[in-house]
A and B are shown apart, each in its own frame.
Chain A
């Protein structure tokens, strides 16, 4: 028996919970991820979709099906973003995968890239500095120091997979025009895995402290607000706190979803909620960072 999970028409962090509900419902039947009507997917949507496929694979379920977007331009974008290179490993693909020619100019700053270990993180940081520095400076008005901080934030986000997921994950970086509320160009980093998530990663060292309150939400608060780590070393637990500070300085948004909760550092230009509980369960953790183009009004506005 096959159950259909609809990939939202506009698939990004806003529609991800709807997608997660579709994945979470039902039993052990084979899943068909139906993206034929999808008109747009953000980097967050693409790496989240891979995480959904990964979760099926690691759960020893039958390999899920994925119908490709019917819109040729959408499928081409997914190909340019490097999605299909990884998707073929987790999904039985239905539809024609576009063949794309290499192009020097692209709003895809980093194609969907697998992160398994420290070497992958080095590769990601190396590539982003080569490809992104000029674009971040020219299109987003970020200073040179901010572009280096961008590489730092990317490195720490990827290391979160290496250190805590217990499995591989993916990262993708792209610039695009943010039409909703901001009406400005943004650069987006999306990182996702289908690993053990923050609650399980911290359980052995933190659950007792929280008692009955221990949950996906309190685990996220412990990591993102208190800088807690599962390691005893006092130097650990700085990565996500550092990302928060960096994004705060550039009026950026940070959103981390794990299990049934999502923590968000909400910038002035966004109307998200700081902490969402009781969401549909989704394995691992998914992180979104958005940095808007800078102008006199927003730069440095929300630094903490």
Chain B
């Protein structure tokens, strides 16, 4: 998995004095640098973007970095956002709802969740996956009292959105 530290990106592109992701211009510069990093890796490889050093994330940057990356590269590779705070979540939720997109986030305590627009069934299945690690559709169906077809459908929905990865008949969050 490609790991992208936003502190490094901010230092390389804008200023080493900034700890905030604000303004559309900053967002554009950061996204373009992330895209350069992504271009050096193969399609399909998951990318983790670390928000650990970001204090304020405004809507313009949330849209420019996460919204546009998901719109333009979400079909090519899964993304995971690391060390996301409740304040980051709020900005991301607002932006992703508008685009009908969703992304996997991991908070500073290590808990996974999905931020953005997602059907309840898929969100519930993802919640179960975060507790089991990886699972086959049948296991999830038993655990959640769903039909195997319903569990499989929710997992395929998550897979299509880049919110889980599939390997040898099992599914899991796109993080190792």
Of A156, A162, A235, the contact of B58 (CB 8 Å cutoff): A156
Q: Count of chain A residues with Cβ under 8 Å from any Cβ of B? A: 26
A241 vs chain B, min Cβ distance (A): 8
Contact B58 A152 (CB under 8 A): yes
A114 vs chain B, min Cβ distance (A): 16
Contact B59 A152 (CB under 8 A): yes
Of B24, B55, B64, B67, the contact of A129 (CB 8 Å cutoff): B55
Per-position binary interface string of chain A over residues 129-165, scored 1 when its CB falls under 8 Å from any chain B CB and 0 otherwise: 1000000000000001100110110011001001100
A-contacting 9-mer, from B39-47, B84-92, B128-136, B146-154: B84-92
Q: Secondary structure of the A side of the interface? A: helix
Of B15, B22, B25, B67, the contact of A235 (CB 8 Å cutoff): B67
Contact B99 A235 (CB under 8 A): yes
Question: Which 7 interchain pairs have the tightest Cβ spacing?
Answer: A148-B87, A235-B63, A118-B23, A155-B58, A118-B25, A155-B22, A151-B56
Alpha-carbon gap, A234 to B67, bound state (A): 10
- Closest B residue to A128 by beta carbon equals B56
Interface of chain B residues 15 through 46 with chain A (CB within 8 A): 15, 18-20, 22-26
**A239 surroundings in chain B (CB, below 8 A):** 58-60
Contact A122 B55 (CB under 8 A): no
Per-position binary interface string of chain B over residues 67-107, scored 1 when its CB falls under 8 Å from any chain A CB and 0 otherwise: 11000000000000000011100110011001100000000
4 A-B pairs besides A118-B24, A148-B87, A238-B60 with CB distance below 8 A are A118-B26, A122-B22, A152-B87, A235-B63
B55 vs chain A, min Cβ distance (A): 6
B66 vs chain A, min Cβ distance (A): 10
Q: Does B57 contact A (CB under 8 A)?
A: yes
Alpha-carbon gap, A159 to B59, bound state (A): 11
Contact A148 B63 (CB under 8 A): no
- Closest A residue to B55 by beta carbon equals A129
B91 vs chain A, min Cβ distance (A): 6
Contact A149 B90 (CB under 8 A): yes
**B59 surroundings in chain A (CB, below 8 A):** 152, 156, 238-239, 242
Contact A234 B23 (CB under 8 A): no
Contact B87 A122 (CB under 8 A): no
Can you spell out 29 A-B residue pairs with CB atoms less than 8 angstroms apart? Answer: A118-B23, A122-B15, A122-B20, A125-B20, A126-B20, A129-B20, A129-B55, A145-B90, A148-B55, A148-B87, A149-B87, A151-B20, A151-B56, A152-B56, A152-B90, A155-B23, A155-B56, A155-B58, A156-B60, A159-B24, A159-B60, A162-B23, A235-B63, A235-B68, A238-B60, A238-B94, A239-B59, A242-B59, A242-B91
**A121 surroundings in chain B (CB, below 8 A):** 22-23
Contact B23 A235 (CB under 8 A): no
With A122-B18, A155-B22, A235-B99 in contact, do A245 and B60 touch (Cβ < 8 Å)?
A: no
Contact A145 B24 (CB under 8 A): no
B85 vs chain A, min Cβ distance (A): 7
Contact A148 B64 (CB under 8 A): no
B17 vs chain A, min Cβ distance (A): 8
